[in-house]
Amino acid sequence: MAKGLVVILSGASSVGKSDIRDRLLGDEDLKLFYSVSETTRPQKEGEVDGKDYYFVTHKEFANSIKNHELLEYTEFNGYYYGTPKSQVDFLVDKGKNVLIEVEAQGVGGIKLNYPDSLAFYVMPTSMEELEKHITEMYKDDQASIERRLNKAKLDMEIAPLFRNIVYNDDPEKAVAEIKEKVLAELEKRSNE
């Protein structure tokens, strides 16, 4: 049985990754399975453990790091987030295609484990547009706005390392661009 393809989705904070992710997961042609991340942040109202995130304690997260159970991990706002390796390995070994949404600095760890994965970086149309969007989303929390803007600027400096940069001026167009490249890769693999 052929192994599944790992598709990595990254991009600046508040650039629209979640919308693109949901559209990709809903596309029947791609047959993508979502890699659920582990986090130490508190569960928000409406979130489901095991669907939105695996909610764990700091000690459990530290053990995951110590035992090399995460493909990558990062800290933001005092909370940790990481991608469980066993979940991705299981799906890929079963021939399933896996979508991982991750911070830009986490892509390297995933590429080390899955060198033939496809990584996409979602770019805003402009820094001004991104700043406007972040300010609207977090209008009551100036500190959060500043943190997210600074992080977005740092992430965008990493963007040139990605082979596939997708501009999100239109989510439908961005999804179509990603879909085309994923289907081409799957077609290439089926012919090998």
Q: What is the pLDDT of residue 139?
A: 76
Per-residue pLDDT tens digits for 98-145: 999 998 888 889 999 999 999 999 988 878 887 887 888 777 778 878
Evaluate whether residue 121 is within a structural domain: yes
Which CATH number characterizes residue 56's domain? 3.40.50.300
C-alpha to C-alpha distance for 142 and 59, rounded to whole angstroms: 30
Q: Where in the sequence is the domain holding 33, given as residue range(s)? A: 6-190
Instruction: State how far the alpha carbon of 170 is from the alpha carbons of 113, 123, 125, in Å.
Output: 32, 11, 9
Dihedrals φ, ψ of 119, to 5°? -115, 135
The secondary element (H helix, E strand) that includes residue 14 is none
Q: What is the pLDDT of residue 161?
A: 74
Reference 147, options 136, 156, 134; nearest CA is 134
Q: What is the pLDDT of residue 142?
A: 84
Task: Give the tokens for residue 131.
Answer: 């700043």
Evaluate whether residue 101 is within a structural domain: yes
Evaluate whether residue 117 is within a structural domain: yes
Evaluate whether residue 172 is within a structural domain: yes
Please check the confidence at residue 192 and state whether its pLDDT lies above 80.
Answer: no
Whole-model pTM: value is 0.88
Q: What is the pLDDT of residue 172?
A: 94
Confidence grade of residue 175 (pLDDT, cut at 50, 70, 90): very high
Evaluate whether residue 89 is within a structural domain: yes
C-alpha to C-alpha distance for 192 and 171, rounded to whole angstroms: 32
Q: How many domains does the chain have?
A: 1
Reference 104, options 55, 143, 151, 57; nearest CA is 151
Per-residue pLDDT tens digits for 48-88: 999 999 999 999 999 999 999 999 999 988 999 999 999 99
**Close Cβ partners of 6 (under 8 Å, ≥ 6 residues apart):** 88, 92, 97, 98, 100, 110, 114, 116, 117, 118
Reference 114, options 74, 85, 82, 75; nearest CA is 85
Q: How many whole angstroms from its chain centre is CA 79? A: 17
C-alpha to C-alpha distance for 100 and 6, rounded to whole angstroms: 7
Evaluate whether residue 127 is within a structural domain: yes
Instruction: State how far the alpha carbon of 137 is from the alpha carbons of 17, 37, 43, 141, 148, in Å.
Output: 15, 23, 19, 9, 11
Evaluate whether residue 1 is within a structural domain: no
The secondary element (H helix, E strand) that includes residue 28 is none
